[in-house]
Structures are given as C-alpha cells and as structure tokens.
Amino acid sequence: MNDIAIPTRAPAATSADDTVQPFAVSALDLRGRVVRLGPAIDEILSRHDYPAPVAKLLGEAVALTALLGSSLKLDGKFILQTRSDGPVRMLVVDYVKPGRLRACASFDLARVAAAMAADNASAGALLGNGHLAMTIDQGPTMSRYQGLVALQGDGLEAAAHEYFRRSEQIPTRVRLAVAEEFRMDGSEGVRHRWRAGGILLQFLPKSPERMRQADLDPGDAPEGTTPHTVPEDDAWVEGRSLISTVEDIELIDPGLSSERLLYRLFHERGVRVFKSIALEAQCSCSRSGVASMLRSFSAQERDEMVEDGAIRVTCEFCNRTYVFAPDEVEEG
Ligand SMILES: [Zn+2]
C-alpha cells in the first residue's frame, strides 16, 4: 500500500483571480485545471464594444484557451481560432507563455442583433457551422502543431469534447462560464465587470485499455444497426458525473476559491493541487512592430492608407490605435 505521507492542508478560502490551478485526483487517475478570470477578462472584453452575447462567447473562448494553453511545456504560443458561418464569423484568442492573453471577435452586427431579437443568441447559434482550430507555435525552430475540429451548431465545450475524443483519444470534460457582475459603486452608479471561469477534467490512466470510449457514430451505417458500445471505466464515469454537477456560479463566484471548488468535488477521493499559473491581459502589439509592418508595404499602398495626413492602424486585439506621419514609415 501507499505509505508515503502526503502533506495535507485545508483548501485556501480566498479566491485568486486570473489564475489557472492544476490539480490531480490520483485515486481516479484524473487530472485537470481550473481557470478563474477577473480583472484580466474584464480588461480584454471591455476594450471592445461587442454586443453582450458576443463578449460572452469570446469570454468562453478565452477561458478555454487559458485551460488548454496553460499546459504548454515549452515557451511558445497557443492560438485558438474559430471560423464559421454563424453571426460570429471568427474568434481568435492567443495565449503566450507564461500567461499572457489577448482576444478578438469578428461578427456581423445585423445578424447578431437579429439573433438577440429572436432570443437565439446561444454560443452554438452565434457560431453556426465551421471549424475550431488550435495551433501550438513554439518558434521558428519547432514545427507548428495544428488540431482541427468541426463546429456543428454547438458551443465551444462540445467542440472541445469532440476534439479530445477524435484527435487525442483522451476522455475529457470541459465546463465554461462567463457572467457580467453589476455592483453599486457610490457616485459612479452601477459598475459593470466581466468574470469568467472554467474547469477541464481528463482521464489519464496508466493502462490505455481503460481509456476506451464508445466508437464514433459511423454516420452512414444501415438503419437498424446497433451502435457499438463499450463500458466506460468506473473512475471516469465518477469523474465526469462530478464535473456535470458544477454550476456556472461556482466557476465565476469571487467568493468561492478554486481550491474550495475542487475540495467540494473531490474531497472523498483526495485531490492535490500544484503551483498555479498567473494570467494577464496583455497584447503583443507595439509601435515599432506596426511601423515595420507598414514599411513592408509598397509606397503606393502606404499612400492609399494616408487619411488627413496620417496613417492610423488599430490593433484588432486590444483596440489601441497607432498614428504615424507618412515619412515615419518610409522604407529605410
Ligand atoms: Zn494590440
């Protein structure tokens, strides 16, 4: 039996916003991460004036990106991107190690407004059909990795489950939540803030035999064919059942720490937490970067960009505008 004394302590009561908390439940061969976003998500979403359902969807994408990107072992970048035919055409979220996040959305305002008016602005309805791409970029000396999964009118959680099932064959559950917090704030009246959170759980037993999952739906099987089913491992059934009890409020409540949430879910089995990772909202754009991008255009292309005697470039991610006099960005 296991006779190594593992130090134990009570779960921390205070919530640490803008962190990813890795954890393990060894008794069930489960590993996972909890993400909690406060000021960082508020900064990312407040820089844009997106309609609330678009901001909420982008917030979910940021939480998912933090959960996945924080597993990068080497220095590098994790990019999550959707392209689809719904009112929200594209979402892009970058995670740069150790924990820098930025995000933007591209959407059709009239279609978003119509979806909101019809009370049909769920994540799945806003995205529609298309694909979700996840790219790991670890610099020019390493090959880029890209995973793709179809978006089929469901939200990002469903796409993440499908990705891990098809591409990695790892039983995985993800829960994501985003909310607006309204607070009375003295003279300023009601102060509005965004919060987001999420949890990722994966079943990683030592023997791959135990990771079996039911076969994928063959799609074109003749009618009446009995689908092939395999019993899932009891440990995974327990893990995913526990995750299904997590409520949105538990993922975003500033009064409930990640450790307390994990303790509530897994205390009967014993849960260990590892060093948390700090997250921040920080764009990688810079005046010198934009200037060298402008220098790469032809003189004629640059001339066409001049308006009122200046060239203005706005970063899609952070909405910052850089203004140049035309002679500042002539080829050196
Ligand atoms: Zn920027």
pTM (2 d.p.): 0.90
DSSP percent split of the chain into helix, strand, coil, nearest 5? 30, 30, 40
Q: How far is the CA of 327 from the centre of ligand 1 (A)?
A: 23
Phi, psi of 44 (to 5 degrees): -60, -50
Residue 308 pLDDT: 94
Q: How far is the CA of 216 from the centre of ligand 1 (A)?
A: 41
Strand order in the sheet with 88-96: 145-152, 129-137, 77-84, 88-96, 100-107, 280-281
Residue 228 pLDDT: 64
- What's the token pair of residue 22? 């890795």
Question: Which one, of 159, 157, 158, 193, lies nearest residue 175 by Cα?
Answer: 157
Q: How far is the CA of 282 from the centre of ligand 1 (A)?
A: 8
Q: Cβ atoms within 10 A of the Cβ of 247, count?
A: 10
Q: How far is the CA of 280 from the centre of ligand 1 (A)?
A: 14
Which 3 state secondary structure label does DSSP give 216?
coil
Segment-wise mean pLDDT, segments of 10 residues, the chain, 332 residues: 61 83 96 97 94 97 97 90 98 96 98 97 97 92 89 95 90 96 75 94 88 63 68 92 95 92 95 95 95 93 94 95 93 66
Q: How far is the CA of 128 from the centre of ligand 1 (A)?
A: 27
Q: How far is the CA of 40 from the centre of ligand 1 (A)?
A: 15
Q: How far is the CA of 103 from the centre of ligand 1 (A)?
A: 9
Q: How far is the CA of 162 from the centre of ligand 1 (A)?
A: 31
Q: How far is the CA of 79 from the centre of ligand 1 (A)?
A: 15
Q: How far is the CA of 297 from the centre of ligand 1 (A)?
A: 20
Q: How far is the CA of 26 from the centre of ligand 1 (A)?
A: 41
Q: How far is the CA of 284 from the centre of ligand 1 (A)?
A: 6
Q: How far is the CA of 319 from the centre of ligand 1 (A)?
A: 6
Alpha-carbon dihedral sign for residues 296, 299, 305, 308: positive
Q: How far is the CA of 285 from the centre of ligand 1 (A)?
A: 4
Residue 1 pLDDT: 44
Q: How far is the CA of 299 from the centre of ligand 1 (A)?
A: 24
Kindly give the pairing relationship between strand 100-107 and strand 280-281: parallel
Q: How far is the CA of 317 from the centre of ligand 1 (A)?
A: 5
